[in-house]
Amino acid sequence: MDTSLIATLGLLALGTIGGIAFKFFQGRGHKVTRSEVIDLKKLKATSNNLPVLEHGKKATLVQFSTEYCGQCPGVRRALTQLEYRLGGLQFAEVDITDRLDVAAHFNISQTPTVFVLDESGALVYRVGGVPKMDQLMQELEKLGVK
């Protein structure tokens, strides 16, 4: 068998495995052990184009977006619906298109990225990519949001 054909098939297999792994882990969150309290006013967080100054009574969802993010509007709609359905939950969005300092501070490498904050504003959970709603709900329930 030709070595270039073997190399091509090997690269194809490696790319396929990498793509499957990426898709599997995309949108899965993880707990944050270093809990930083996040100041929504300092971040210039908004909801419906209005500034968000306070955290939710039980939890806050913060979505980091960019102007060119194709998945961000759908995630925004889903998280806004959660805010209206669930008591004690606040939703806020931060546009990091021109705010590389914020992206660097929070190690945001993709949008959307969603943070779950407790009632004091401490970061407890984060998701890179489109969040899996069942996992997000489990984390919110741990904070008393139902």
Tokens 């949108």 belong to 27
Q: In the numeric block, which tokens belong to residue 61?
A: 């969802």
Q: What is the DSSP letter of 143?
A: T
- Going from N- to C-terminal start, the domains of the chain cover 29-142
Specify the CATH number for 29-142; select among 3.40.30.10, 3.20.20.70, 3.40.50.2000, 3.40.50.300.
3.40.30.10
Q: What is the pLDDT of residue 21?
A: 45
Q: What is the pLDDT of residue 3?
A: 80
Q: What is the pLDDT of residue 29?
A: 73
- The reported pTM is 0.81
Residue ranges in the chain whose pLDDT is less than 70: 1, 5, 7-10, 13-28, 30, 33-34
Q: What is the pLDDT of residue 82?
A: 95
Give the residue ranges of DSSP H helices in the chain: 3-25, 40-43, 72-85, 100-105, 133-142
Label residue 46 exposed, middle or buried (CB < 10 Å: 0-12, 13-18, 19+).
middle
